Amino acid sequence: MAIPKLYSIIQGRWPDTVAVANGSSCKCECLYIDMGSILHSALHRTQDQDGVYKALKSYIGQIVSMAKPTVLIYVALDGVPPVSKLKEQAMRRKMSKTSGHGWNPHELTPGSELMHSIAMMLAVYCETLSQSVGVTVILDDCYCPGEGEQKIITHIKGFKRDSRLNIVIYSSDADMIAMTVLLRDCNVYLLRETPNSRKKMYTQKRFEQLNIGKLQTRIGNIRTTTEKPLDSKLHAFAIASMILGNDFLKTPLGYGVSYPVLIDLIDSLCCCVSDDNAVLDWAKFFDNMARREYSNFKEEYPLDEGSKREIILSMSLQSLSLKEKKNVIKEQIDDVERENFLHWRERKYLFESISIATAQLAQITEDYIKGLELLHKYYQGDNAALSSWLFGHSYVPMFSDMAPHVHDFGSSAAPVVDDTLLKPIHVLALVLPRSSSHLLPKVYRTDAKIEQNDIFTMQLTELFDLTNYMKLQLDPFLDEEEKLRNIEGNIQIFSPSISTPSGL
């Protein structure tokens, strides 16, 4: 989901980057469709499986009819996610509720019977769509590992082309904004539903599109303390977006999403990013952010004149010169303000029910920086960056708490593990709450081997120790149909016949 408010911030601050989308403004060579939000919308609006199929086809058809792609249609479903997202998925599913029609949203997890049937249905539909529209259609379904938005970015970066193409991406995921601003060799437009049409039926939907080229220009025009070329500012924007919200790392304590905070982060990052955008001076960045936290605190909670007078009256200044008096008074007021800042930070942690462990600050800081580095690579299309990494802490402290613990440990990408260890039904078992255990194969619920190590009663740290989890060796106990739902597949490509006319 990334930053929930990022799109509205962009629309409010740079309204010229967003325009109404229609058949004449939305034409493109390549159309990419992220199915995540479409699947959830279909599940909330229909009462039976046939209704879900009909809704999905209707929505895809409407987007294709409006965009009129002439080269390619790419349909992407979420598959097995990086290990680092499983913990977040488990928490979300624990809090989610059934739809108004009684559907369980947990069924939209790779490995479920519903997702298997949707993948089979879309394969048939995409073949028909390719023939009717007259362009190549690619289906990257739930059996191909990776998240939908990551699959799309990876394909765009690897797509062989001789010139800049007009690319339209349908996606409501804010991650896609941060990812697409890093694309520099194509004209990209993000297609989204207008806010007032989200609850309407598919045939009544209205759309708007975010012009990524214009957004890149606006980001380039942001004034920063250290002026950097456009590419560096775009990377700073992407990293700032990651810091304020992502599915893999917690947001530092005390950081709400707002335009001023976003600009503060971009400014600090521009002071620290290298010319090739590959390395940041993390110590400098954390020090900058610590100073900003202190400065913002003093602006929001200034020391009143009465308190300052009390400080001065409590001091013995008779034997000092005027200049010495000013220096001593300033130092004393600074000490009081610093002490107030420390008390304010403590109250922040208490309000969030966080007991900060000073002994763990160094490790949390190093793990957080490592996570930012890997996430930065992931946003640039590196599928393996987050494959085996997991942020093992329940919170991220304020920058002013982490700054003293930043060490130059270099760029330390986590080792890549064999992704075949994680299969769809394994992921289903890892992220489902006990209330949805009926969606699992019977062996996951009744086999005696599991009773000794119940996946629903394991602590999160144990739950995501994949080495121990995979020792359960459940695959041999699945029936034939379940084994079909537990494979790693390949993308499917459907090409039109030469004689097929274009148009829906």
Q: Note the pTM of the prediction, 2 decimals.
A: 0.87
> Which pLDDT score, from 0 to 100, does residue 185 have?
83
| Spatial distance between the Cα atoms of 244 and 265, rounded to a whole number of angstroms | 9
> Which one has a higher pLDDT value, 414 or 400?
400
> Which one has a higher pLDDT value, 254 or 160?
254
254-260 average pLDDT score: 88
Confidence band, pLDDT 50/70/90 cuts, at residue 2 = low
Confidence band, pLDDT 50/70/90 cuts, at residue 457 = very low
Mean of the per-residue pLDDT values of the chain: 82
> Which one has a higher pLDDT value, 124 or 417?
124
137-189 per-position pLDDT tens digit: 999 999 998 899 999 999 998 887 767 889 999 998 888 999 999 998 889 99
pLDDT at 411 over 50: no
> Which pLDDT score, from 0 to 100, does residue 421 have?
60
Percent of the chain with pLDDT over 70: 84
203-230 average pLDDT score: 90
Q: Are 458 and 447 in contact (CB under 8 A)?
A: no
Burial of 27 (C-beta count, 10 Å sphere; 0-12/13-18/19+): middle
> Which pLDDT score, from 0 to 100, does residue 241 have?
92
pLDDT at 501 over 70: no
Q: Worst-scoring range by mean pLDDT, 96-110, 158-172, 299-313, 354-368? A: 96-110
319-346 average pLDDT score: 85
> Which pLDDT score, from 0 to 100, does residue 277 have?
66
Confidence band, pLDDT 50/70/90 cuts, at residue 191 = very high
Instruction: Give the bridge partners for 20, in sequence order.
Output: 208
**What is the rounded end-to-end Cα distance, in angstroms, of the chain?**
32
State both tokens at 501.
Answer: 């006319």
Spatial neighbors of 109 by CB under 8 A, at least 6 apart, are 89, 93, 115, 427, 428, 431, 432, 439
Spatial neighbors of 419 by CB under 8 A, at least 6 apart, are 80, 145, 387, 488
Q: What is the b/e burial string over 166-198, where b = at least 16 CB atoms within 10 angstroms of the residue's CB? A: bbbbbbbbbbbbbbbbbbeebebbbbbbeeeee
> Which pLDDT score, from 0 to 100, does residue 294 have?
93
| Spatial distance between the Cα atoms of 128 and 316, rounded to a whole number of angstroms | 88
- Dihedral angle sign, alpha carbons of residues 153, 275, 264, 220: negative
Q: Worst-scoring range by mean pLDDT, 42-46, 319-323, 325-329, 478-482? A: 319-323
Where are the chain's structural domains? 29-164+423-494, 301-351
> Which pLDDT score, from 0 to 100, does residue 473 have?
56
Distances (CA, A) of 42 to 108, 183, 436: 11, 31, 20
Distances (CA, A) of 62 to 204, 205, 258: 10, 9, 34
Confidence band, pLDDT 50/70/90 cuts, at residue 41 = confident
**Three-class DSSP category at 403:** helix
Distances (CA, A) of 6 to 1, 15, 249, 292, 453: 10, 13, 17, 21, 42
pLDDT at 1 over 60: no
Q: Worst-scoring range by mean pLDDT, 92-106, 122-136, 378-392, 461-475? A: 461-475
Selection from 179-188, 422-431, 471-480 with the highest mean pLDDT: 179-188
> Which pLDDT score, from 0 to 100, does residue 336 have?
87
> Which pLDDT score, from 0 to 100, does residue 203 have?
65
